[in-house]
Structure 1
Amino acid sequence: MSDTSGSEDIEDDLLLIVEDDAAFARALKRSFERRGDYRVLHASSIEEAKEILKTESPERAVVDLKLGVQSGLNVVQLLHEHDPEMLIVVLTGFASIVTAVEAIKLGACNYLVKPSNTDDIDAAFTRNTGDVDAPVAGRPTSIKTLEWERIHEVLTETNFNVSETARRLGMHRRTLARKLAKRGVS
């Protein structure tokens, strides 16, 4: 695509959104397209992302951490292997230290907690340096936070299989389901 404002020709960046929530993906796609800097493609699963990569090479990607029963970390790995220069931002509604670290190790350039808007995501693509002035937590982590991080760690290990996660945690499946529902994870 050409820039019609009279400046030099600029091709829009190709952005791939990998998100299984169709309404959220549609809103995010429209919002990025309105900016005029992006041509946006959408995949709702790792399989759809693989199909897109057969014919397209996105410069940027937004990947949801939980894609139904699949882990978005697999998508991050796939995208990074396809193009190590691709800028990948992981979005999640249930962040944990474990998944943040793994996402970065697998090739993501940033990790954001939902709700995040296009401004947040766009800034995350370009923010590739650390902040030495970031506040260091002044209080210890709560038991609830530690519990949630452990649950999420095991969820990730089991590819979001709730029954297997409950078994590994020594917890009744219904108890785990209630905890996930309270966090908005279903």
Structure 2
Amino acid sequence: MADPLKFLIVDDDATFTRVLARAMTKRGFNTKVARSADEALDIIKTWSPDLVSLDLKMDGASGLTVIQPLTAANPAVRIVVLTAYASITTAVEAIKLGATQYLPKPANADDILTALQQNDADEEIDISSQPMSVNRLEWEHIQKVLSEHDGNVSATARALDMHRRTLQRKLAKHPARQ
């Protein structure tokens, strides 16, 4: 009998990781949990996962910092980046770094496994007939500038000519839907 696939969950939400780990273990995966990017980097020194669920925004370093070390440890690894703070900029960066898929939260175990197993792009994806709202455009622009400044909030605030605390408040809010 073949060894079970190794599934790494990287997320700082204790409830989410507990529920997802239980669901993946029940599905037959050898599952480990890391509650930070640093903890994930420690785990992959001795354990190479086949599948990874990776939160984008955690305390400490971003989940994006884990993608390249994961693909270096196992070039065949499949990574789905999960976030409640989805933006075009972070989605593009995650895919460029080597992530397989990018999903907005909330996502359940079935959503995650479907995303990890999807190999082809969906040409039939729904395209909204409505343009983005001004609030969503602002969110996307902030995310782009933040990415250009490697997540440095102070440098981003200066580039946007915005007070640092104002930027922090905007970053703490969930993005506008459209």
TM over 0.5: yes
Which of 2, 11, 17 is matched with 1:19 structurally? 11
Aligned to 2:99: 108
Please state how far the C-alpha of 1:182 moved relative to its aligned partner.
2.9
Task: Assess if the C-alpha contact under 8 Å between 1:162 and 1:176 holds in 2.
Answer: yes
Which of 90, 95, 104 is matched with 1:99 structurally? 90
Distance 2:9 2:73 in 1: 15
Equivalent position SS for 1:91: strand
Percent pairwise identity: 50
Please state how far the C-alpha of 1:159 moved relative to its aligned partner.
4.4
Aligned to 2:21: 29
Which of 38, 45, 50 is matched with 2:29 structurally? 38
Distance 1:28 1:135 in 2: 28
Distance 1:98 1:133 in 2: 22
Equivalent position SS for 1:42: strand
Aligned to 1:51: 42
Task: Assess if the C-alpha contact under 8 Å between 1:61 and 1:88 holds in 2.
Answer: yes
TM-score by length of 2: 0.89
Counterpart AA for 2:107 = S
Task: Assess if the C-alpha contact under 8 Å between 1:69 and 1:161 holds in 2.
Answer: no
Counterpart AA for 1:89 = V
The RMSD of aligned alpha carbons is 1.8
Distance 1:79 1:123 in 2: 20
Distance 2:149 2:53 in 1: 23
Rate the CA distance shift 1:172–1:24 in 2: closer, same or farther, 3 A.
same
Counterpart AA for 2:97 = L
| Uncovered stretches (5+) of structure 2, i.e. residues with no partner | none
Aligned to 1:156: 147
Counterpart AA for 1:139 = Q
Equivalent position SS for 2:144: helix
Counterpart AA for 1:25 = T
Is 1:88–2:70 an aligned residue pair?
Answer: no
TM-score by length of 1: 0.85
Counterpart AA for 1:145 = R
Task: Assess if the C-alpha contact under 8 Å between 2:37 and 2:60 holds in 1.
Answer: no
| Uncovered stretches (5+) of structure 1, i.e. residues with no partner | 1-8
Distance 2:148 2:20 in 1: 28
Rate the CA distance shift 1:160–1:71 in 2: closer, same or farther, 3 A.
same
Distance 2:116 2:66 in 1: 17
Task: Assess if the C-alpha contact under 8 Å between 1:69 and 1:160 holds in 2.
Answer: no
1:152-173 superposed Cα distances (whole Å, 9 cap, x missing partner)? 2233344444333322221122
Q: How many residues align?
A: 175
